[in-house]
Amino acid sequence: MPEDKQIKESLQEIAKTWNEVLDAFFLKAGLQSRQILVLGCSTSEVIGHHIGQGSSLEVAEVLLPPLLDRAKQQGVFLAVQGCEHINRALVLERACVEHYRLEEVTVLPALHAGGAMTVKAWESFSSPVMVERIQGHAGIDVGDTFIGMHLRPVVIPIRIHVKELGQAHLTMARTRPRLIGGQRAAYA
């Protein structure tokens, strides 16, 4: 019984920190309507296990709903990256796949092949679809899941006061268009 209370308190603290992270991220990311936000999240790392060794639907249930709410408020598409067991494929809404003309792949996320966040996203999205690759406009990486392969060049780190979520290392980024030209080029 005391362990259940400790877990509940830990999840409450994680939820509080996550809301702070989301406030800071959306303030700094500058996302526009219909852009893509990539989430990579090891729920194992959040609760202090080695990546892929303790997938937690309980953590996913704490983290995904507030992120989904904010993505909807901002009018952005959320892409949730799975683990290497499904080639880091992503769960997206069908509307995003159609808007960006992405290629759908056939795989269903599972707790130990995709991870808890992709399972929760698959359950929570209105019309979930899996894709193998995208070029997102910003990203949140919880637990060093390496989402960079799914971000557009050029990636700009977003730095905030929070460096960890639970036990997981936290990094965030936005992207900007490439600067081209030479000495005489001007940029807006």
Q: What is the CATH number of the domain that holds 145?
A: 3.40.50.10360
> Within a domain: residue 102?
yes
The model scores a pTM over 0.75: yes
Residues with Cβ within 8 Å of 183's Cβ and at least 6 positions away in sequence, in order, are none
Residues with Cβ within 8 Å of 101's Cβ and at least 6 positions away in sequence, in order, are none
Specify the pLDDT at position 125. 98
In tens digits, the chain (188 residues) has pLDDT values of 345 556 677 999 999 999 999 999 999 999 999 999 999 999 989 988 877 777 889 999 999 999 999 999 999 999 999 998 999 999 999 999 999 999 999 999 999 999 999 999 999 999 999 999 999 999 999 999 999 999 999 999 999 999 999 999 999 999 999 988 877 888 87
Residues with Cβ within 8 Å of 173's Cβ and at least 6 positions away in sequence, in order, are 138, 139, 141, 151, 155, 156, 157, 158
Which residue range forms the structural domain that includes residue 39? 2-176
> Within a domain: residue 120?
yes
Please state, as a whole number, how many other Cβ atoms lie within 10 Å of the Cβ of residue 20: 13
> Within a domain: residue 185?
no
> Within a domain: residue 186?
no
Specify the pLDDT at position 162. 95
> Within a domain: residue 181?
no
> Within a domain: residue 49?
yes
Specify the pLDDT at position 5. 58
Residues with Cβ within 8 Å of 2's Cβ and at least 6 positions away in sequence, in order, are none
Specify the pLDDT at position 4. 58
Domain count across the chain: 1
Residue reference for tokens 């683990």: 83
Residue reference for tokens 């936000």: 37
Specify the pLDDT at position 163. 96
End-to-end CA distance of the chain: 59
For residue 156, the surrounding DSSP H or E stretch is strand 155-158
Structure tokens at 37: 């936000």
> Within a domain: residue 38?
yes
> Within a domain: residue 7?
yes
Specify the pLDDT at position 3. 53
188 burial level (CB within 10 Å; 0-12, 13-18, 19+) = exposed
Specify the pLDDT at position 107. 96
Q: Determine contact, residues 118/52, Cβ cutoff 8 Å.
A: no
